[in-house]
Structure 1
Amino acid sequence: MTDPTTTTVGDTVILRDEPPTQPARSRSRGSMIFRKVIATNRARIGGGVLLFIILWAFIGPLLYPWSFTDQDGLAFSQPPSLDHWFGTNNIGQDVYAQTLVGLQKSLVIGLIVGPAAALIAGLVGAVAGYLGGVWDKAIIWVIDLLLVIPSFYLIVLLSPVFRSLSWLALVVFLALFGWMVLARVIRGQTMSLREREYVKAARFMGVPGFTIVRRHILPNVASLLIIDATLGIGAAILSETTLSFFGFGVQAPDVSLGTLLALGSTAAVTRPWLFVFPAGILIITVLASSLLGDALRDAIDPTSGANRD
């Protein structure tokens, strides 16, 4: 039997190189993190519940015969039934339809505010840490000032403005007051990253500072931004609910979980379905978001809480 790696020509044996083997594809860091995340019970439960809630909130109203503005003149303050799954309020409006519409609004606000605040924190913190000097001191002074100002009371003072604007104004204010703590963390990370050889080499080659931040700094702190954006969804939903509960957030005719809780709190004992269903859905949504963010944090940073599943 001839060796497949040799060739015989007359009395001469010629050695041939072995055919190159295909190297196994190295798993990217993103795929490894994804595998770690889906391997945890917290991620599967939290992500599955959150996905179900999002689909339910946006598809559920399309499959239900009642709209959140419809009134049933024969069912005032009725408990849950086959006709009205979550019951009705004192003017005959369907609580199930209103809860889904309110959940839509709260989810949209949370899904916008969480990533937006993380993006602001990443940009501001990276710029402050990279530039240093006077710029760093000025940005840190602004951050500290915003941390001292009680954002809740400031939004309360500005609430008359919300009444003349859409709920998007609330989104802007929540995003503007939710990035400061993470920005300080990103700043510290950036001050360490700017001393790395590849950052110094890029600066020596004349690469603009903004390009260095975009190409070399932000990708290295992306894990922190992803974690904060995920956890920030639940925090933003709670903030919106609290403000709307006290009448400083979403305004009529718009509906959110906060406005439903405010209306149902006065009848929590006599007509509990007006309060229990919105409150239960709020708790489940925030808990699912927290579970997913917690699992993502542990997958990216194993030292934060390993082996808790």
Structure 2
Amino acid sequence: MADSELTVTAAAVLTAEDEQSTGLRRTGRFTLIARRFARRRSAVVGLVLLVLLVVFAFVGPRIAQWGYDEPDFLALAQAPSAEHWFGTTTGGSDVFALVARGLGRSLAIGILSSVAITVIAAIVGTTIAFFEGWVERVGMWVLDMLLVIPSFLLIAMIVRSSSGANGWIWLAFGITVFGWIGYARVLRTLTLSLRELDYVHAAKYMGVRSFTIIRRHLIPNLGSVLIIQTVLGVVAAVNAETALSFLGLGIKAPDTSLGTILQAGQSVILTAPWVLIAPSVALVLLTFSVQLIGDGLRDAIDPNSRSGGRA
């Protein structure tokens, strides 16, 4: 057996003996984060609430007695009953089925947009900061120019030109196209300090390719920020979709979302308040749960947070 193998074997034996003698056991990073997250009761409540909303969005349309696109013309603006659990709209549509369908559509748009925005912003922001010089100057100029574009109007134009069946895809695309710009500027600022670290300079001197350094060293070291932003970005994307759909510039019939239901409910708030209350409660619970999860992740990832202590 070679000397190096003997050294590794001896070190492994010593490590095992130390763990047995001290009674301590190594804890992985993800295990430690999970334990810190679990100690935050509010974060656990938010996670459970989000899971229930996701289950409702997927299971609700299957257990509803009526489809979201199957109006009951014998029950127009009917209050909640055994047949229509959340009541009906003035057109006879079942509010329970509408909210389940709308919540699922809003969640799909929010999750897809948030993940895509995080990926694009991470790549662009770290690349601009890493190359410095004229690349950084041109990149920041482009970001500044993109920030002055009226994104709200352009997203509305993109969605308006689509059909009702695939309108949600174009809406998610529009939110993604204009949603990463400000976040890329933030990540560029955070990367300025990372690019001066010794291991980044060592990788450059060793001839490692620039994009390999970005992928292996810079982006992973922003992992905690990216995770939190992805979670909180779901709420931002859902709110953007809701605002556009509420104004009639987002999801169009025959599809539906929380924004379109709110738009229909605001005109009958006095005669049929359940049409407005049901989607409003779903939107508030979704926002509240994601905020709790985001706060829990922030405290769990940050070792100096108040959720520290024994893990």
What TM-score comes out, normalization by structure 1 length? Answer: 0.88
Q: Deviations over 1:144-180 (max 9, x none)?
A: 2222333223323444324586321111111122222
Q: What's the CA shift for 1:121?
A: 1.1
Q: What's the CA shift for 1:20?
A: 5.5
Could you tell which deviates more after superposition, 110-119 or 232-241?
110-119
Alignment partners' CA distance in 1, 2:42 and 2:238: 20
The residue number in structure 1 matching 2:184 is: 183
Q: 2:37 touches 2:297 (CA, 8 Å); kept in 1?
A: yes
Alignment partners' CA distance in 2, 1:289 and 1:20: 41
Q: 1:230 touches 1:293 (CA, 8 Å); kept in 2?
A: yes
The residue number in structure 1 matching 2:81 is: 81
- Give the paired residue count: 291
Could you tell which deviates more after superposition, 243-252 or 20-29?
20-29
Q: CA 1:152–1:306 in 2, change beyond 3 Å: closer, same or farther?
A: farther
Q: 1:71 touches 1:94 (CA, 8 Å); kept in 2?
A: yes
Q: What's the CA shift for 1:111?
A: 1.0
Q: 1:46 touches 1:289 (CA, 8 Å); kept in 2?
A: yes
Q: Name which of 17, 21, 24 aligns with 1:21.
A: 17
Alignment partners' CA distance in 1, 2:26 and 2:124: 34
> What letter is aligned with 1:32?
L
1:262-277 residue pairs with structure 2 within 5 A?
262-277=263-278
Alignment partners' CA distance in 1, 2:269 and 2:280: 11
Alignment partners' CA distance in 2, 1:66 and 1:20: 62
The residue number in structure 2 matching 1:146 is: 146
> What letter is aligned with 1:117?
I
Question: 3-state SS of the aligned residue for 1:268?
Answer: coil
> What letter is aligned with 2:56?
W
Q: Which has the larger radius of gyration?
A: 1
Q: 1:122 touches 1:183 (CA, 8 Å); kept in 2?
A: yes
Once the two structures are aligned, what percentage of the paired residues are identical? 41
Could you tell which deviates more after superposition, 272-281 or 24-33?
24-33
Alignment partners' CA distance in 2, 1:34 and 1:18: 29
1:211 aligns with 2:207: no
What TM-score comes out, normalization by structure 2 length? Answer: 0.87
Q: Choose between structure 1 and 2: higher helix proportion.
A: 2
Give structure 2 stretches of 5+ with no counterpart.
1-12
Q: Deviations over 1:174-222 (max 9, x none)?
A: 1122222322222122222222222222212211111111111111001
Alignment partners' CA distance in 2, 1:104 and 1:210: 37
Give structure 1 stretches of 5+ with no counterpart.
1-16
Q: 1:162 touches 1:249 (CA, 8 Å); kept in 2?
A: no
Q: 1:246 touches 1:262 (CA, 8 Å); kept in 2?
A: yes
The residue number in structure 2 matching 1:4 is: none
Q: What's the CA shift for 1:223?
A: 0.7
